[in-house]
Amino acid sequence: MKPIKIGTRGSKLALYQAYYVANLLAKHDLDTEIVIIDTKGDQILDVAISKIGSKGVFTEELEVQLEKGLIDIAVHSAKDMQSTLPAGFELIAFTEREQTNDVIISHKPEIAINDPEIQTLLGTSSTRRVATLKHFYPHIRTTEIRGNLQTRIAKMESGACDALLLAYAGVHRMGYNHLIKHVLRLDEFTPAVGQGTIAVEAFEGLDAKRRAKITQAVHDPTTGYCLEAERSYLKELDGGCSIPIFALGTYSAEQVTLTGGIVSLDGKERIERQVTGPSQQAETLGKRLAESVLTAGGKEILSKIRQQLAK
């Protein structure tokens, strides 16, 4: 069998993820080749993601290569995946999930987010994190910091901000645990859909046997059920990277509990609901959660957010 060509972005974290998948494939005696591809999200670093288009900003160029057959699979952070994939594309595997919390990292000895008397400037490029901060910690100021993890840390150390608000998974994978000052509570900072897991994307032209071997080697079924529920919720709300939607599925005894909601851009309104059901009905669970959130006032919040982002 020819080596499986793995398409990836070129950042250290993206390459870590690509080699992580390559190692899982190697355990099943499958050879691989890493192919680095630049994306729009990597090229444009001086503009907020919400301003350059939230759908496919980190995935579009990889999907072009998939469709042309120049790569067999593309490896992404699952949280970067748009709610609806283009026709012919499918996520065929999710890796075992890392810890899902958001964390605050800093080069400074102490960062006290609970103390309104202490001025703290947090760097983040996430509307979900900014809106959540405004809701729970309104005294915290934020600034837009984009780029790969190493670039963001360099900006922080040069004085652009006091600390960074990031996903634990990326911080841990890049060996920056020593910079973690706070691990944020999941009941406050419920993560973005897919946070903490790696997604493998394929195009319909991929050979069926090749596809089946990749899924067998990489896919974690427990994570898969949770992601199916989360992504179903995201799809119902049609939320992209610029919409502050959150959801987290947990698996236990063949049941998935899905917690999720939405927060207004100013942080004043936050709706959260929870549903539980059989893991085999994960997609239905996502739809149930979406209906619950929308009828509880989420529809109005979502409409207002879209109007604000369109300005």
List the catalytic residues. 80
Query: What separation in angstroms does the CA of 236 have from each of 45, 148, 283?
Result: 29, 30, 10
Instruction: Outline where 113-167 has alpha helix (H).
Output: 127-136, 149-157
* Unique residue bearing structure tokens 């959801």: 247
Which amino acid, 198? Answer: I
- Quick check: helix, strand or coil at residue 302? helix
The sheet with strand 73-77 has its strands ordered as 32-36, 4-8, 73-77, 198-203, 89-94
Q: Which of 99, 100, 94 is nearest to 227 (CA)?
A: 94
Phi first, then psi: give them for residue 87, nearest 5 degrees.
Answer: -55, 135
Which of 217, 223, 262, 218 shows the shortest CA–CA distance to 239?
262
- Residues 183 and 168: their CA atoms lie apart, in Å, by 8
**What does the angle CA 42 – CA 45 – CA 50 come to, to the nearest 5 degrees?**
95
